[in-house]
């Protein structure tokens, strides 16, 4: 099993990779920081990975995605599983006033992620089995005043993956859409934490692994986010508009 992780320094990606490493998977770890990637690769080998290679890339650099994917294929071969784990939370208030920040958020959370997936599928051997795990967010389930720029990027990526799942239904390509709620990671370092809605990366990773093994198409993690978001998605506007979320 060869696992390609785009955004391998993500806390959720690391926790998930450790679980796959126990079963002797081979890894290709992609990200911007060589020192972090090398440390993660060493950790995965210590956990039981058959191999762990690294590739330096700015995943949000849209103009270099096709060449980057070709280079990964030439160096490491065809992956069996791909995890798209990178993204940027950003500052909503700042991004509303600075369109450069707005574009960076949308490009990172949606545009570049979608293009990496398309580049991956473009030259994939038709008979080769492939699982694509896209880590999104419950923030994409409904537009909210507090984070509609980040949320719209995640919503776009979720619709994109849903469409791909429809297109490739019955084929060797399987899409798993992951929707975490609040997770205690460096990405959320500036947010006050506490209460039962917060989860640790390993809890989310366990849910992802279970979803992949059971062939699920979509997973809310932890589980209670499914009923929460079901309610939020279906609230009538006259109620929803009064919520400060």
Nearest to residue 245, comparing CAs of 234, 227, 232, 226? Answer: 232
CA within 13 Å, CB half, 23? 10
Contacts of 134 (CB under 8 A, 6+ apart): 84, 113, 117, 157, 158, 161, 175, 176, 177, 178
Q: Clarify whether 150 is annotated catalytic.
A: yes
- Which is catalytic among the residues 16, 86, 150, 220? 150
> Is residue 196 reached through a cis peptide bond, with omega within 30 degrees of 0 on the bond before it?
no
3-state helix, strand and coil shares in percent for the chain, rounded to the nearest 5: 50, 20, 30
Provide the CA 243 distance to its chain's centre, in angstroms: 28
C-alpha angle 211/213/216, rounded to 5°? 40
What distance in Å separates the CA atoms of residue 154 and residue 165, rounded to the nearest whole number?
16
Cα separation, 32 vs 36, whole angstroms = 9
Supply the residues annotated as catalytic: 150
């Amino acid at each position: 099993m060869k696992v390609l992780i785009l955004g391998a320094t993500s806390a959720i990606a690391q926790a998930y990779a450790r679980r796959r490493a126990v079963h002797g998977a081979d890894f290709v770890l992609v990200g911007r920081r060589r020192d972090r990637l090398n440390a993660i690769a060493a950790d995965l080998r210590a956990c039981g990975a058959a191999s762990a290679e690294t590739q330096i890339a700015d995943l949000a650099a849209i103009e270099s995605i096709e060449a980057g994917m070709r280079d990964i294929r030439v160096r490491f071969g065809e992956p069996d599983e791909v995890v798209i784990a990178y993204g940027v939370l950003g500052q909503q208030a700042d991004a509303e006033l600075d369109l450069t920040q707005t574009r960076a958020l949308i490009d990172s959370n949606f545009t570049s992620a979608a293009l990496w997936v398309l580049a991956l599928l473009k030259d994939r051997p038709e008979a080769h089995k492939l699982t694509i795990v896209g880590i999104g967010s419950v923030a994409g389930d409904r537009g909210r005043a507090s984070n509609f720029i980040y949320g719209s990027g995640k919503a776009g990526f979720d619709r994109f993956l849903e469409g791909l799942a429809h297109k490739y239904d019955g084929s060797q390509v399987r899409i798993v859409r992951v929707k975490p709620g609040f997770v205690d990671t460096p990405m959320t370092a500036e947010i006050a934490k506490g209460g039962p809605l917060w989860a640790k990366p390993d809890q989310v990773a366990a849910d992802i692994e279970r979803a992949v093994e059971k062939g699920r198409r979509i997973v809310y993690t932890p589980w209670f986010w499914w009923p929460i978001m079901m309610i939020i998605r279906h609230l009538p506007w006259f109620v929803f508009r009064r919520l400060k979320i």
